Amino acid sequence: MTIENSKFKKEFISRLINFSVSIIKFCELLKNEKYFLVLIDQLLRSATSIGANVIEAKSSSSKTEYLRYFQIALKSANETKYWLIIVLKTTKKYKEETNRLLKEAEEIANILAAGILTMKGKK
């Protein structure tokens, strides 16, 4: 592993942690709206699952298992995007923050997808 690759991995994990924290704080805002209570649970689970699966991949016993954790993380990122879009379509109250989080979720999903393609040898 090159130094740049190692640095990127550390920065990406830090980015995932920061994203999870941002989602938790965002859900604190949403909890004031009763109709978001179920959505908050789903959003918290999917968003925090992204980083958890990337971290879990580090202790994989095979390349196949490592790849599988990244695929799960990508699915969680896509689910997170879905819930954020629902928030956008439901209220304009948190539009700026929702758009910021949606953009970050999209970037994270793109990084994960690129990594998966690289691991599969398709990039």
pLDDT digits (tens, 9 = 90+) for 70-103: 999 999 999 999 999 999 999 999 999 999 999 9
pLDDT digits (tens, 9 = 90+) for 33-74: 888 999 999 999 999 999 999 999 989 999 999 999 999 999
Residue 102's domain comprises: 3-119
Closest to 22 in 3D by CA, of 96, 90, 89:
96
Task: Find the CATH number of the domain harbouring 18.
Answer: 1.20.1440.60
Instruction: Please give the tally of structural domains in the chain.
Output: 1
